[in-house]
């Protein structure tokens, strides 16, 4: 038994609407519950940041499915490493849209972590991704 956390970024192949996120989540939450996989899916502009936590083999297998999903592309695997405890153990998959946070918070986060002007990019450093999620008050240890 080896617990691991996988973090990746991707570009959506369509404008990200809450309907798209909900469609992804309805399948993800059901599947993930069965596999005891937890995590968070953050959408920002045309980009996704996803954190998956669970048994290493389970999350690797899930990632191969996710990679083949035509709703996104340009997947960038940022990290897949062993962990002692989950940080997102509360959620089979929590969906969060960046634009739902208040403007001040968004600006602070953008200034701190993101680059690229209008179509900015999420950080490529996995630690920074976790910190970013943390700064939004979304991390819970279990």
Among 5, 6, 16, 32, binds ligand FMN (CB under 6 A): 32
State yes or no: residue 8 binds ligand FMN (CB under 6 A): no
- Residue 82's alpha-carbon distances to 33, 132, 137, in angstroms, are 20, 20, 23
Provide DSSP, 38-69: EEEEEEETTEEEEEEEEEHHHHHHHHHHHHT-
Q: Does 50 bind ligand FMN (CB under 6 A)?
A: yes
- Report the distance separating Cα 116 and Cα 40, nearest Å: 23
CB 82 within 8 A of CB 16: no
d(CA 63, CA 7): 10
The candidate with the shortest Cα–Cα distance to 4, out of 55, 42, 51, is: 55
36: contact with ligand FMN by CB under 6 A: no
Helix 126-135 and helix 103-113, axial crossing angle in degrees, nearest 10: 160
Residue 65 vs 103, nearer CB to ligand FMN:
65
Q: Please state the closest distance from residue 108 (CB atom) to ligand FMN, in A.
A: 25
Contact letters (x/-) for ligand FMN, 72-111, by CB under 6 A?
x--------------------x------------------
Nearest CB to ligand FMN, comparing residues 15 and 117: 15
Kindly state whether residue 5 participates in binding ligand FMN, applying the rule CB under 6 A: no
Binding string, 56-75, against ligand FMN, x = CB under 6 A? ------x--xx--x-xx---
- Residues in contact with ligand FMN by the rule CB under 6 A: 10, 24, 27-28, 31-32, 41, 48, 50, 62, 65-66, 69, 71-72, 93
């Amino acid at each position: 038994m080896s617990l691991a956390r996988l973090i990746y970024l991707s570009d959506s192949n369509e404008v990200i609407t809450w309907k798209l996120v909900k469609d992804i989540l309805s399948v993800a939450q059901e599947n993930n519950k069965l596999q005891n996989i937890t995590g968070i899916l953050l959408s920002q502009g045309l980009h996704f940041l996803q954190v998956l936590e669970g048994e290493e083999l389970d999350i690797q297998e899930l990632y191969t499915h996710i990679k083949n999903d035509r709703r996104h592309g340009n997947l960038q695997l940022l990290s897949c490493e062993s962990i002692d405890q989950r940080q997102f153990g509360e959620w089979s998959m929590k969906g969060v849209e960046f634009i739902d946070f208040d403007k001040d918070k968004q600006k602070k986060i953008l200034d701190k972590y993101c680059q690229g002007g209008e179509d900015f990019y999420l950080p490529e450093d996995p630690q920074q991704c976790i910190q970013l999620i943390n700064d939004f008050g979304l991390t819970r240890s279990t």
